């Protein structure tokens, strides 16, 4: 009597559940998986077959001529290294191919969200992480990563080539990869047209002529926002930074939640906004030149050097890694010149290897202060939440 | 009804419920319970002190109160705007109706960050409204600036959820026999009285469904609140996100997640009461209920609705299209060309064609899963009307009101040990999407399934029809339409879902929303332009898919 309209579909789901529950642990080197994998290379139907295999093989169809047989063969002298990272990571395919060619290891890049999300996910999955190494922890969150013990040591021989001051952990649980200082950017045209001096010091921002001109991002949700908050802590001291923010608040500072809203919706130098001052990066001006529709002679935006806060990004081998040695090799590669020279134009930050040459557009349009504001990472770790909480109480509530 | 038959019904219900219950247990309860327990019992034994500390914290109470009232207000506003729209789109025949019906679903799939940006342009001091005002009044014109206000939040919530009301309520409205209303009118009832006493009671289950869904969506609102409400306003969802992804304060996150859960379950209980009194009603194929506007009043009503849709839904979308076409030197297709050019050879660069394909494949897979799970649950609830079916039905709604961060992190933490080791699995994406899409399938199918007159089936059986034939010739023609509506909607939800998916999507299988986010995350005019172009593409793909689904014919719909 009973109509059973969709029962026919039930086996599909049961199958999905079964496949799910029989899924192997993600090691593409598992020989049992090989035949299935080969068939699946071009298959993207996610309900169809074992997922891990499909997407590991899909990584790139051009750059790396790795079909599964090679991957499987790679178990003899190489493996697939899984690199966990935040969303802003990138690398040229032909550069990454150099690593695969020289070591035989394939690389699977897994972006996990913003920097905070990527780190917290990795901490919470500590005993069975999703990959072998994590890139993208910066000095503002480094202490958390180290305290939680997610990294194991790897001392790269290439550290000799890294400029002094970037190696923060002498046990080498993390290795510096790039620096991308956070600085206030200004709209060059606006200040010219208004006949207004570009502010030189942070205190200038509280002057009446700069009322309503600045957009910052929320340090509780945005990594440049946190860096700028730290810049004010370093400049005005723990006793003075909240006063500064109160005065900034009185001078109509605008807070947005994330960088892209601030930069594209509120900043007049790059997007549709009407505020000529914004929290962004030292590398944003060259990016404006590269991504302009027609290359301008001078960058449309500039950097206020006195506002720059040092941000160093690190990579580390995860304590629960399946391929710790191969992960170490990848770290060495990330410090080598080919990777380091690729960094500016893919991630828009600066290399840490002293031998790496900067692309012309960076030489010409980027400002990299020699001595940016900086706070010891352990001190940041001790006070980060308190500073953010106090800031929130003053500025947002 | 004899005992044997009751028993066999129970057996059938149990069989039908197995899959939905298992789905919910494995992919919702288990991950969410895992993360909540991790937060509340970090060392293996519960530390419940945090519960009291969080609940009595005045700032948490403020957040909870704001979450509740903005959701209630948003739901009321969406119903007020959406119900007339549901009527117009399901009962009045006019040129462009189908296109509009597909079009109103577009907002639903767009990432909030993109739409938020369009709203900022429309609600800010340089909006067309202000331009018009100052053209009219000159210097004296007031400047409207609704950025970072509750009004902005409400407008955006109506924008995003309009389609929920139109599709859920309209789906049923198009099947209600207009002769019932005509009869009331002939008997002397006024138009308003007819609506209040005849139409409204018949629509009630669908309205309750739509209201519940909109409430849950706005209760867990995240992007809209941050972008349009400003960083000073927070919902429970926003706080869970902050506690989990930034502060790594899991005890706080877990407590807030429990608070959210309690509120959601409470609202579902209220909803259950509204839902209980459903009436069996004569339903007809939708083609017979459509007719051209009959009176001048009705034509004005139609026009007013179209103007509203244009202002509320179309304007923000046009801002996106305009931005995608604008370049430094006028309008051109540069952004689209760049999007499809193969020049950028980096690992995380997203080739546009691939993103479109991935989105479609994930969307189809998620729709299939949602259909199996939701279809079985809806059938079980129709067959039995017993407690178990009701429970599963309600439980399937809970994911809508659960923090995407909780679900996303829950997946990652819970599903990484054998036998359920899904680390890095692409399966997680359609499953997470299906969690959100399933309630729509149930909500759309159930009112229709329930209102099929049992006597029709019995009559067919008496005349010797097999159960399969009864299903094909009695149920399918009536349910077919609703099933298509549900399919189109699930697909749209899957394509647009960006809450849990963001934690689960893989680098090498980027979807359109993922691509938009990556582009927006970098400086440079070209990146922004390409993000807008990709958003426009997302709109087109969604609209095309929904139009295509709407055009499908299942069974003999319309020739009843």
pLDDT value at residue A366 = 87
pLDDT value at residue A45 = 41
State the average pLDDT over residues B529-537: 89
What DSSP line would sit under B10-37, residue for residue?
A: HHHHHHHHHHHHHHHIIIIIHHHHHHHH
- Rounded Cα–Cα distance for residues A196 and A211 (Å): 12
B424/A110 touch (CB, cutoff 8 Å), yes or no: yes
**Domains A77-180+311-366 and A182-309+370-395 agree in fold:** yes
Nearest CA in chain A to B357: A44
End-to-end C-alpha distance for chain A, whole angstroms: 62
- A85: tokens are 């990272």
Q: Which residue has the tokens 């206000």?
A: B149
pLDDT value at residue A19 = 40
A112/B419 touch (CB, cutoff 8 Å), yes or no: no
Q: Compute the C-alpha angle A250/A256/B500, nearest 5°.
A: 155
pLDDT value at residue A233 = 97
Q: How many Cα atoms are found within 13 Å in the side-chain-facing hemisphere of B429?
A: 34
A396/B231 touch (CB, cutoff 8 Å), yes or no: yes
**Cβ proximity of B372 and B464 under 8 Å:** no
What DSSP line would sit under A284-324, residue for residue?
A: HHHHHHHTSSS--SS-SEEEEEEEEE--EEEEEEETT-S-H
H and E: helices and strands count for chain A: 15, 12
CA B481, distance to chain mean position in Å, is: 18
With H, G, I as helix, E, B as strand and everything else as coil, classify residue B422.
coil
Residue B11 has pLDDT above 80, yes or no: no
**Which residue of B9, B125, B231 to mutate against A (max A Cβ within 10 Å)?**
B231
With H, G, I as helix, E, B as strand and everything else as coil, classify residue A244.
helix
- Rounded Cα–Cα distance for residues A114 and A116 (Å): 6
Nearest CA in chain A to B457: A1
- Rounded Cα–Cα distance for residues A231 and A373 (Å): 6
Give the β-pairing of A106-111 and A80-85: parallel
Cis peptide before B419 (omega within 30 of 0): yes
Q: Which residue has the tokens 């095309």?
A: B544
A294/B329 touch (CB, cutoff 8 Å), yes or no: yes
H or E element: which one contains A192? helix A188-194
Helix-, strand-, coil-residue percentages of chain A, each rounded to 5:
45, 15, 35
The Cα of A366 is separated from the nearest Cα of chain B by a number of Å equal to 14
Instruction: Indicate the range of A273-277, B332-336, B484-488, B499-503 predicted with least confidence.
Output: B499-503
Cα–Cα distances in Å, from A263 out to A215, A272, A274, B156, B523? Answer: 8, 9, 11, 21, 8
pLDDT value at residue A25 = 39
The more confidently predicted of residues B313 and B558 is B313
* Per-residue model confidence as pLDDT tens digits over A187-238: 999 999 999 999 999 999 999 999 999 999 999 888 999 999 999 999 999 9
In chain A, residues with a C-beta closer than 8 Å to the C-beta of B23 are: 13, 17
pLDDT value at residue B281 = 60
Residues in chain A: 397
Cα–Cα distances in Å, from B234 out to A215, B60, B224, B499, B552? Answer: 20, 10, 10, 17, 43
Cα–Cα distances in Å, from A259 out to A47, A199, A222, B100, B503? Answer: 36, 21, 7, 35, 19
Nearest CA in chain A to B469: A3
A44/B461 touch (CB, cutoff 8 Å), yes or no: no
Instruction: Indicate the range of A230-244, B35-49, B129-143 predicted with least confidence.
Output: B129-143
pLDDT value at residue A50 = 40
The Cα of B520 is separated from the nearest Cα of chain A by a number of Å equal to 6
State the average pLDDT over residues B369-386: 84
A60/B357 touch (CB, cutoff 8 Å), yes or no: no
Q: Find the farthest-apart pair of alpha carbons in chain A and give their distance in angstroms, rounded.
A: 84
Which residues, listed in sequence order, are joined to residue B327 by a DSSP beta bridge?
A: B330
Residue window 10-29, chain B: list those with CB within 8 Å of chain A: 12, 16, 19, 22-23, 26
Residue A267 has pLDDT above 60, yes or no: yes
Residue B119 has pLDDT above 90, yes or no: no
Q: What does the mean pLDDT of chain A come to?
A: 82
The more confidently predicted of residues A344 and B274 is A344
In chain B, residues with a C-beta closer than 8 Å to the C-beta of A385 are: 247
Residue B99 has pLDDT above 70, yes or no: yes
pLDDT more than 70, % of chain A: 80
pLDDT band at A31; cut points 50, 70, 90 = very low
B525/A346 touch (CB, cutoff 8 Å), yes or no: no
Q: Does residue B87 sit at the A interface (CB-CB below 8 Å)?
A: no
Instruction: Indicate the range of A80-84, A280-284, B16-20, B52-56 predicted with least confidence.
Output: B52-56
CA A357, distance to chain mean position in Å, is: 21
B125/A10 touch (CB, cutoff 8 Å), yes or no: no
* Per-residue model confidence as pLDDT tens digits over A84-136: 999 889 899 999 999 999 999 999 998 888 888 899 999 998 888 889 999 99
Residue A305 has pLDDT above 80, yes or no: yes
The more confidently predicted of residues B103 and B261 is B261
- Rounded Cα–Cα distance for residues A352 and A359 (Å): 14
Query: CB-CB: which of B59, B347, B379 is closest to A4?
Result: B379
Residue B433 has pLDDT above 80, yes or no: yes
Q: Which residue has the tokens 């409205």?
A: B173
pLDDT value at residue A44 = 39
Instruction: Indicate the range of A368-377, B239-248, B275-284, B496-505 predicted with least confidence.
Output: B275-284
A120/B523 touch (CB, cutoff 8 Å), yes or no: no
State the average pLDDT over residues A49-74: 39
pLDDT value at residue B202 = 85
B349/A348 touch (CB, cutoff 8 Å), yes or no: no
B525/A293 touch (CB, cutoff 8 Å), yes or no: yes
A44/B357 touch (CB, cutoff 8 Å), yes or no: yes
pLDDT value at residue B507 = 66
Query: CB-CB: which of A46, A220, A274 is closest to B246?
Result: A220
Return the number of CB contacts < 8 Å for A and B.
269
Domains for chain B: give ranges and CATH numbers: 11-551 (1.10.3720.10)
- B47: tokens are 């530390």
**Cβ proximity of B370 and B363 under 8 Å:** no
CB neighbour burial string for B292-301, b if at least 16 within 10 angstroms, e if fewer: ebeeeebeeb
pLDDT value at residue A337 = 96
User: Given 3.40.50.80, 3.30.70.100, 3.40.50.1980, 3.40.190.10, which CATH number is that of A182-309+370-395?
Assistant: 3.40.190.10
The more confidently predicted of residues A15 and B67 is B67
Closest C-alpha to B326, from B525, B136, B146:
B525
A261/B457 touch (CB, cutoff 8 Å), yes or no: no
* Per-residue model confidence as pLDDT tens digits over A362-397: 998 888 888 899 999 999 999 999 999 999 999 987
A109/B348 touch (CB, cutoff 8 Å), yes or no: yes
Query: CB-CB: which of A46, A82, A130 is closest to B362?
Result: A46
pTM of the full structure? 0.82
Alpha carbon dihedral A158, A160, A164, A169, in 10-degree steps, equals: 60
- B37: tokens are 């327990």
Residue A313 has pLDDT above 70, yes or no: yes
Query: CB-CB: which of A47, A260, A284 is closest to B365?
Result: A47
B113/A54 touch (CB, cutoff 8 Å), yes or no: no
pLDDT band at B476; cut points 50, 70, 90 = confident
Nearest CA in chain A to B452: A3
What's the CATH code, domain A77-180+311-366? 3.40.190.10
The more confidently predicted of residues A12 and A103 is A103
Residue B456 has pLDDT above 90, yes or no: no
Query: CB-CB: which of B375, B424, B517 is closest to A130?
Result: B424
Q: Compute the C-alpha angle A304/A308/A314, nearest 5°.
A: 145
pLDDT band at A41; cut points 50, 70, 90 = very low
In chain A, residues with a C-beta closer than 8 Å to the C-beta of B526 are: 291-293
- Highest mean pLDDT range out of A90-94, A331-335, B284-288? A331-335
Instruction: Indicate the range of A83-87, B2-6, B381-385, B525-529 predicted with least confidence.
Output: B2-6
Q: Compute the C-alpha angle A356/A304/B327, nearest 5°.
A: 80
Nearest CA in chain B to A299: B524
CA A368, distance to chain mean position in Å, is: 19
Residue A1 has pLDDT above 50, yes or no: no
A130/B517 touch (CB, cutoff 8 Å), yes or no: no
Cβ neighbours of B461 (radius 10 Å):
15
Residue B339 has pLDDT above 50, yes or no: yes
Model ipTM over 0.85: no
pLDDT value at residue A323 = 95
Q: Does residue B423 sit at the A interface (CB-CB below 8 Å)?
A: yes
A9/B372 touch (CB, cutoff 8 Å), yes or no: yes
CB neighbour burial string for A117-153, b if at least 16 within 10 angstroms, e if fewer: bbbbbbbbbeeebbbbbbbbbbbbbbbbbbebebbbe
B523/A110 touch (CB, cutoff 8 Å), yes or no: no
Q: Does residue B373 sit at the A interface (CB-CB below 8 Å)?
A: yes
Which residues, listed in sequence order, are joined to residue B185 by a DSSP beta bridge?
A: none
Q: Is the dihedral of CA B509, B513, B516, B522 positive or negative?
A: negative
Q: A113-116: which pairs have CB atoms within 8 A and are 24 or more residues apart?
A: A113/A86, A113/A87, A113/B245, A113/B502, A113/B503, A114/A86, A114/A87, A114/A223, A114/B245, A115/A86, A115/A88, A115/A141, A115/A223, A116/A141, A116/A223, A116/B245, A116/B246
Q: Any idea where the domains of chain A sit in the sequence?
A: 77-180+311-366, 182-309+370-395
State the average pLDDT over residues B426-434: 88
Query: CB-CB: which of A113, A292, A397 is closest to B525?
Result: A292
Cα–Cα distances in Å, from A367 out to A176, A231, A356, B116, B118? Answer: 20, 17, 17, 32, 32
B507/A111 touch (CB, cutoff 8 Å), yes or no: yes
- In terms of phi and psi (left: phi > 0; alpha: psi -120 to 50; beta: otherwise), the region of A149 is left
**Which residue of B251, B523, B524, B527 to mutate against A (max A Cβ within 10 Å)?**
B523
In chain A, residues with a C-beta closer than 8 Å to the C-beta of B516 are: none
Q: What does the mean pLDDT of chain B come to?
A: 83
In chain B, residues with a C-beta closer than 8 Å to the C-beta of A291 are: 522-527
């Amino acid at each position: 009597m009973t109509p059973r309209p969709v029962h026919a579909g039930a086996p599909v789901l049961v199958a999905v559940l079964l496949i799910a529950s029989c899924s192997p642990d993600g090691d593409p080197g598992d020989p049992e998986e090989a035949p299935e994998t080969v068939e699946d290379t071009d298959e993207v139907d996610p309900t169809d077959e074992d997922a891990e295999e499909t997407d590991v093989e899909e990584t790139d169809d051009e750059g790396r001529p790795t079909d599964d047989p090679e991957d499987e063969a790679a178990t003899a002298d190489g493996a697939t290294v899984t690199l966990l990272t935040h969303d802003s990571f990138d690398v040229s395919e032909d550069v990454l191919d150099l690593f695969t060619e020289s070591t035989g290891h394939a690389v699977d890049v897994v972006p996990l969200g913003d920097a905070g999300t990527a780190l917290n996910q990795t901490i919470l999955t500590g005993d069975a992480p999703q990959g072998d190494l994590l890139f993208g922890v910066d000095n503002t969150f480094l202490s958390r990563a180290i305290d939680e013990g997610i990294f194991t040591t790897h001392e790269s021989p290439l550290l000799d080539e890294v400029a002094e001051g970037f190696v923060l952990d002498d046990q080498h649980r993390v290795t510096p990869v790039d620096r991308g200082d956070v600085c206030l950017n200004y709209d060059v045209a606006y200040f010219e047209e208004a006949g207004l001096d570009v502010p030189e010091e942070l205190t200038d921002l509280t002057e009446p002529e700069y009322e309503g001109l600045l957009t910052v991002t929320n340090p509780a949700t945005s990594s440049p926002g946190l860096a700028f908050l730290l810049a004010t802590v370093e400049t005005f001291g723990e006793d003075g930074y909240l006063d500064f923010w109160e005065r900034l608040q009185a001078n109509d500072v605008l807070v947005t939640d994330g960088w892209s809203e601030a930069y594209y919706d509120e900043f007049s130098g790059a997007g549709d906004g009407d505020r000529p001052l914004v929290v962004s990066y030292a590398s944003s001006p060259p990016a404006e030149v590269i991504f302009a529709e027609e290359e301008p002679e001078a960058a449309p935006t500039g950097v206020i050097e006195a506002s720059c806060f040092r941000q160093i990004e690190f990579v580390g081998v995860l304590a629960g890694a399946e391929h710790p040695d191969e992960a170490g090799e990848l770290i060495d590669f990330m410090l080598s010149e080919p990777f380091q020279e690729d960094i500016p134009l893919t991630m828009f930050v600066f290399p840490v290897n002293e031998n790496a040459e900067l692309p012309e557009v960076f030489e010409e349009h980027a400002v990299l202060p020699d001595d940016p504001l900086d706070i010891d990472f352990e001190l940041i770790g001790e006070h980060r939440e308190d500073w953010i909480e106090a800031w929130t109480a003053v500025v947002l509530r | 009804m004899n005992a044997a038959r009751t028993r066999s019904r129970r057996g059938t219900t149990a069989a039908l419920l197995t899959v939905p219950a298992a789905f919910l247990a494995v992919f919702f309860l288990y991950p969410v319970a895992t993360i909540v327990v991790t937060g509340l019992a970090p060392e293996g034994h519960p530390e419940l002190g945090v519960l009291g500390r969080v609940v009595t914290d005045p700032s948490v109470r403020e957040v909870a109160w704001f979450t509740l009232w903005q959701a209630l207000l948003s739901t009321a506003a969406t119903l007020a705007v959406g119900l007339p729209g549901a009527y117009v789109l399901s009962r009045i025949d006019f040129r462009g109706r189908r296109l509009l019906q597909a079009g109103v679903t577009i907002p639903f799939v767009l990432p909030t960050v993109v739409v938020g940006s369009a709203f900022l342009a429309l609600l800010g001091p340089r909006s067309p409204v202000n331009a018009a005002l100052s053209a009219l009044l000159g210097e004296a014109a007031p400047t409207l600036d609704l950025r970072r206000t509750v009004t902005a939040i409400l407008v955006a919530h109506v924008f995003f959820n309009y389609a929920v009301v139109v599709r859920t309520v309209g789906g049923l409205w198009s099947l209600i026999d207009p002769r019932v209303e005509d009869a009331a009118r002939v008997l002397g009832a006024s138009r308003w009285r007819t609506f209040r006493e005849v139409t409204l009671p018949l629509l009630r289950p669908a309205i309750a469904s739509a209201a519940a869904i909109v409430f849950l969506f706005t209760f867990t609102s995240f992007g809209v609140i941050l972008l349009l409400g400003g960083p000073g306003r927070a919902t429970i969802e926003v706080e869970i996100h902050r506690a989990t992804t930034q502060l790594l304060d899991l005890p706080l996150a877990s407590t807030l997640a429990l608070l959210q859960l309690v509120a959601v379950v409470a609202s579902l209980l209220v909803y259950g009461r509204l839902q209980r009194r459903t009436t069996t009603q004569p339903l007809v194929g939708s083609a017979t209920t459509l007719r051209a506007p009959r009176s001048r009043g009705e034509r004005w009503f139609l026009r007013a609705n179209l103007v509203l849709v244009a202002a509320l839904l179309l304007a923000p979308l046009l801002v996106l299209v305009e931005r995608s076409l604008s370049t430094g030197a006028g309008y051109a297709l540069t952004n689209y060309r760049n999007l499809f050019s193969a020049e950028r050879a980096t690992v995380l660069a997203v080739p546009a064609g691939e993103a479109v394909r991935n989105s479609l494949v994930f969307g189809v897979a998620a729709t299939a899963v949602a259909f199996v799970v939701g279809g079985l649950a809806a059938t079980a609830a129709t067959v039995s009307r017993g407690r178990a079916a009701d429970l599963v039905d309600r439980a399937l709604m809970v994911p809508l009101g659960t923090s995407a961060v909780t679900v996303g992190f829950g997946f990652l933490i819970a599903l990484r040990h054998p036998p359920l080791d899904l680390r890095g699995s692409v399966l997680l994406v359609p499953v997470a999407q299906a969690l959100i899409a399933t309630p729509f399938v149930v909500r759309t199918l159930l009112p229709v399934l329930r209102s099929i007159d049992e006597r029709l089936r019995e009559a067919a059986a008496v005349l010797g029809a097999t159960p399969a034939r009864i299903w094909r010739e009695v149920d399918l023609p009536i349910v077919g339409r609703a099933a298509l509506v549900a399919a189109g909607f699930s697909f749209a939800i899957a394509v647009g879902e960006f809450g849990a998916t963001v934690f689960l999507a893989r680098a090498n299988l980027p979807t359109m929303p993922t691509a938009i986010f990556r582009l927006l995350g970098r400086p440079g005019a070209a990146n922004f332009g390409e993000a807008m172009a990709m958003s426009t593409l997302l709109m087109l793909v969604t609209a095309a898919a929904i139009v295509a689904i709407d055009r499908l014919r299942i069974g003999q719909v319309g020739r009843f």
